[in-house]
Amino acid sequence: MTMTVRFDPAAPYEVDQEDVVFAKPDGKELLARVYRPRGEAAAPLMALVDVHGGAWNRGDHTSGALHGKALAASGLVVVSLGFRQGPEHQYRAASQDVAAGVRYVRAHARRFSIDPARVGLIGSSSGGQLVLLAGVKPGAPEHAGTPIVLPNGSLDTSPGDESVRFVVALYPVADPLARYRYAESRLNDAGFDAKRFIESHRAFFPDEAAMESVSITRIVAAKEATTLPPVWVAQPEVDDNVPAEITAAFVRAYRAAGGHLDLVPFPGAKHGFIGQASPATDKALSLIRDFVGKFGA
């Protein structure tokens, strides 16, 4: 007997996964891993486009496996993107690919039993910066250009709907320039690999002006955001990767601009905690499901 699937925060469903080529910038095949609840959808399901972290230089479409499967088990379709990264590709390329991922999901709504009107974004760390940027500037000209693969296999570079209902940002690098300067300030701190952070920023961003240009805090404060979707932010207590002050500045700017933002602290948790099973991860997944149910419905 085939199970009927609908959104259920109790996450009762088995999950199937498959890898697909979602885009082909300059002939390069970009993979996405699609996590789908097993069964027949009672009605078209919500979709989450997932963007991994790794300081814009590391990780791939398999990085979000733990939370991808867990969220799909609640009746969501999760599409985890592989995208162009440094040092081979510098900034803008990743944002172009994320925008393409949103267009791809809508183009394949029938295939994946997705409601094209209910698409959200979830991203971790540097991926949090990428999804926030995509969320507040959908359809930005500088994010155009990555051709998506259509259901018939042809490529499409035409503009599409890149708007999203909500954004989930796990310990996001909301202000890349502030994080770069923070890393520089800790170059001589024993036990902190400041050099790795600095090198990652330099591998992806050509200069500090580029880092500043994609600071979500600056974009929102400068009223450059074209929309302010509801945002859910996780801030681990023990995070020396993205200091609490950087997140707090973003939260103040977003709320001051009139955006809805839920900031959730995670006592004792470290940066990247969503990647390992733990009580903090269980708590985050439960709260994300609640948020998605509230703003994605």
pLDDT tens by residue, 23-70: 999 999 999 999 999 999 989 999 999 999 999 999 999 999 999 999
pLDDT tens, residue by residue, 119-151: 999 999 999 999 999 999 999 999 999 999 999
Q: What pLDDT, on the 0 to 100 scale, is given for residue 116?
A: 96
Does 279 map to a domain?
A: yes
Q: Count of domains in the chain? A: 1
CA 285 to chain CA mean position, Å: 15
Q: What does the pLDDT read at residue 1?
A: 62
Q: How confident is the model at residue 165 (pLDDT cuts 50, 70, 90)?
A: very high
pLDDT at 192: 84
Per-residue confidence at 11, pLDDT binned at 50, 70, 90? confident
- What pLDDT score was predicted for residue 129? 98
297 located within any domain: no
3-state helix, strand, coil in the chain (%, to 5): 35, 25, 40
Nearest Cα neighbor of 284 from 69, 269, 261 is 269
Q: Give a yes or no: residue 294 inside a domain.
A: no
Cis ω for the linkage preceding 243 (within 30 of 0): no
Distance CA(247)–CA(258), nearest Å, equals 17
pLDDT above 80 (res 2): no
d(CA 275, CA 277): 7
User: Which pLDDT score is estimated for 168?
Assistant: 98
Strands 30-37 and 15-23, sheet pairing:
antiparallel
The domain in which residue 183 lies consists of 4-283
Q: Is residue 9 part of a domain?
A: yes
Q: Is the pLDDT of residue 282 over 70?
A: yes
- Establish if 142 belongs to a structural domain: yes
Mean pLDDT of all residues belonging to the chain: 95
Q: Is residue 293 part of a domain?
A: no
Residue 241 domain-assigned (yes or no): yes
The answer as to whether 228 is a domain residue is yes
Which CATH number fits the domain that encloses residue 182?
A: 3.40.50.1820
Q: Please report the pLDDT score of residue 30 as a whole number.
A: 98
DSSP 100: H
Q: Report in angstroms the alpha-carbon separations of 109 from 45, 52, 65, 150.
A: 9, 22, 21, 11
